[in-house]
Amino acid sequence: MKVVIVGGVAGGATAAARIRRLDEQAEIVVFERSGYISYANCGLPYYIGDVITDPEELTLQTPENFFSRFRIKMKVRHEVTAIDSERKKVCVKNLENGEEFEETYDKLILSPGAKPAQPRLPGVGIKKLFTLRTVEDTFRIKEYINQKHPKSAVLAGGGFIGLELAENLRDLGMEVTIVQRPKQLMNPFDADMASMIHSEMRRHGVKLVLGHTVEGFEEKDGGVDILLKDEKPLHADMVVLAIGVVPDTNLAKEAGLELGIKGSIVVNERMETSKPDIYAAGDAVQVKHYVTGQDALISLAGPANKQGRIIADNICGGDSKYLGSQGSSVIKVFDMTAAVTGINETNARKAGLNADAVILSPMSHAGYYPGGKVMTMKVVFEKDTYRLLGAQIVGYEGVDKRIDVLAAAIHAGLKATRLKDLDLAYAPPYSSAKDPVNMAGFMIDNIFKGILKQWRLEDAAALPRDGSVTLLDVRTVWEYNNGHIEGFQNIPVDELRNHLDKLEKSKPVYVICQSGLRSYIAARILEGNGYKAYNFSGGFRFYEAVMGDRRLIESATACGMDRNEP
């Protein structure tokens, strides 16, 4: 059996190694257009920022290493230019010397990945404008920084690459501005949770220009003007386009393979394309979202590796199936960690799901053990079925642990109420006896049982201020005086029972505290005394962070900086 693989890195290299482990006699040839067959894609920004200083650390395997261990022919700087699925041949061009030749195959694997989205805008080809996707891109940016010593950079796009690169450029002492059309960074997060990420970026001096459309680029005054729609241009010494990626599937299109979203390759659960004996994996393929069942594009290393392994199993006589992508991911944001799994509340509702969420602010470990830090968690579930849909966490410690627990719970099909039953490891330096994941489960179970009724941030503006409802802040007098929502009266929770005569039982009571815990206790006191009470999900801390962020976004100026003062 002869297997030809187009593209290395996550999907292609994984498939190649797995095939060899399953079939010692198979002939395996990999053609990679770049000069590197397996590299740490996610580590590229950290090389630019000198966190990783040895360029060899970026290349996980070399062609020589691969051949020595697996007897796999790795042909770098070789581009497959055409596929003849009838004759089972591919046309290949040696990019070093221009030689062209044909290669036969019994099985063909396509792992071309994705390429940076390149908008058709004036000035996209200027030399001070970069993209970051490959090792070669990384070396170009690093060489420019070392030689030209730029003082400022504008990053067009606020996804994973944009945020990681912003942090690393700031660590090099550069002024950094992120500009993009959406009014939030990191679209896998809901806008309310993204506000925590915005705050951390601003705290480290990154300027955010959100909700602005880039219309082009011009070289000017030794740098680059970034032209914005209906606004004055930004100016920087260099620009990096980080507006996302699109499937690199021109080869598949010309071969007549069925294509899906944004030209991605359509595959079945065995990762087979529409043509016999041709498989595909990685960022170039359309997958099913594990939660919604809808077609999706999810460009992450974990799914690509799994897909490569599944293809290898099936080529070697197995029957492995890809169950779908869940979108679990984590990112370092300066001192913070932000993580997500499943779908957010916004996308759940767009998908037609009747979604709800709980928001909580637990400590990373036991409060009495030194060093604990607050994290903000949002767990999304379906109202009618209590199916667990997704989760988002932003914090400092223990974020990755909790998101992985929640990711496993979603994959296992646990209902959100079952989170309370998970038996999770506890010791004071690592967690609390009531782990944050358990706490989310307790809250959702209380909603299910009718013990907890919530009101959410989106309800705040519509709450009547005409006296028809009671608006109650149960924090201390000091906390209340340092900031509160207009129209809310203050009765500290520990004094509430002594002042129930001030509250009319005929009026529903909307309660808030700093994090949601004291207001929940107050709501139970009120319910126990005949009132109908609603607890604010997230607390005033959450409300203040989100509303403050929205004000900053709306007041962003065209000079490339938002007002970083709260």
List Cα–Cα distances, 293 to 29, 207, 326, 378, 409, in angstroms: 34, 37, 10, 22, 17
Which residues lie below 8 Å from residue 190, measured CB to CB, with a gap of 6+?
344, 345, 346, 378, 392
Catalytic residue among 42, 316, 513, 559: 42
Which pairs with CB-CB distance under 8 Å and at least 24 residues apart come from 371-377? 371/397, 371/429, 372/397, 373/397, 375/399, 375/402, 375/436, 376/193, 376/196, 376/538, 376/542, 377/402, 377/436, 377/440
Which is nearest to 161 in space by CA: 127, 136, 186? 186
Residues 152 and 560: their CA atoms lie apart, in Å, by 11
Annotation says 559 is catalytic = no
CA-CA-CA-CA torsion sign (300, 301, 302, 308)? positive
Quote the CA–CA distance of 173 and 294 in Å, as a whole number. Answer: 43
Q: What is the dihedral of CA 266, 267, 273, 277, to 10 degrees?
A: 170
- DSSP bridge partners of 180: 210
Q: What percentage of the chain's residues is helix, strand, coil (to nearest 5)?
A: 35, 25, 40
Distance, in Å, from the CA atom of 231 to the CA atom of 224, rounded to the nearest integer, reads: 16
Distance CA 78, CA 378 (A): 46
How far is 105 from 99, CA to CA, in rounded Å? 19
Number of alpha helices (DSSP H) and beta strands (DSSP E) in the chain: 14, 33
Instruction: Report strand pairing: 38-39 vs 59-61.
Output: antiparallel
For residue 369, the tally of other CB atoms under 10 A from its CB is 15
- Provide the residue type at 218 as one letter: E
**Three-state DSSP class for residue 516:** coil
How many other C-beta atoms can be found within 10 angstroms of the C-beta atom of residue 237?
20
How large is the angle between the packed helices 63-70 and 9-22, nearest 10 degrees? Answer: 20
CB atoms within 10 A of CB 334: 17
Neighbours of 302 (CB within 10 A): 14
DSSP symbols for 74-108:
EEETEEEEEEETTTTEEEEEETTT--EEEEE-SEE
- List the structure tokens of 506: 């005929």
Query: Residues with catalytic annotation?
Result: 42
